[in-house]
Amino acid sequence: MEPEIKIVNVVVSTQIGTDIDLEYAADILDNAEYEPEQFPGLVCRLSDPKVALLIFRSGKLNCTGAKCKEDAVIAINKITKELKEAGMDLIDNPEVNVQNMVATTELGMEPNLDDISTLECTEYEPEQFPGLVYRLSDPKVVVLIFGSGKVVITGLKVIEDAYRAYEKISKTLKELEEELY
């Protein structure tokens, strides 16, 4: 049975220009905060799509909180259009790269995390964090497994890797269960 995997966060990066005047940009953009003594970038929050954009003086831009790459691209285009209309010289159609995606799903059971923690590439310290950390090498992702059966997969570049990771984990857990019981 195909698991229901939901992307909950997509982080992308791009280069929108060079030597951006962040004070000027903060004045132009709604919902923008620029406090260089606290953080070196300008933070701009949009409500549609609901994302946060981090713009740096170097022209690098990170977008976080998107549910898909397309939403991030829409947000980046919205902001660059506003800045260009205010006279800033920016790159047209900058290349947008996915840095990380986070997905969630369910195992459909309540796993015994103590049993799973005997596997290689796992860390489980319930006093510090309630989930078991399972690092896969192929696909290269980190899977968090919780006692409720909830699973968070992070480090994704493409959605297909979430399905591959889920398949691997499911197969490994079935094998472990057969071994133990």
Closest by Cα among 131, 137, 145, 144 to 164: 137
Cβ(181)–Cβ(134) under 8 Å? Answer: no
Instruction: Say whether pLDDT at 179 is over 90.
Output: no
Hey, where are the domains in the chain?
12-99, 107-180
pLDDT digits (tens, 9 = 90+) for 116-166: 999 999 999 999 999 999 999 999 999 999 999 999 999 999 999 999 999
Give me the architecture of the 107-180 domain, per CATH. 2-Layer Sandwich (3.30)
- pLDDT tier at 2 (50, 70, 90 boundaries)? confident
DSSP state of 2: -
Residue written as token pair 């549609």: 48
State mean pLDDT over 10-34.
96
Instruction: Say whether pLDDT at 84 is over 70.
Output: yes
Cβ(53)–Cβ(46) under 8 Å? Answer: yes
Per-residue confidence (pLDDT) for residue 1, from 0 to 100? 66
The CATH fold assigned to 12-99 is TATA-Binding Protein (3.30.310)
| Fold: same for 12-99 and 107-180 | yes
The dihedral sign for the CA sequence 16, 21, 77, 7: positive
Q: Which two tokens stand for residue 122?
A: 């796992």
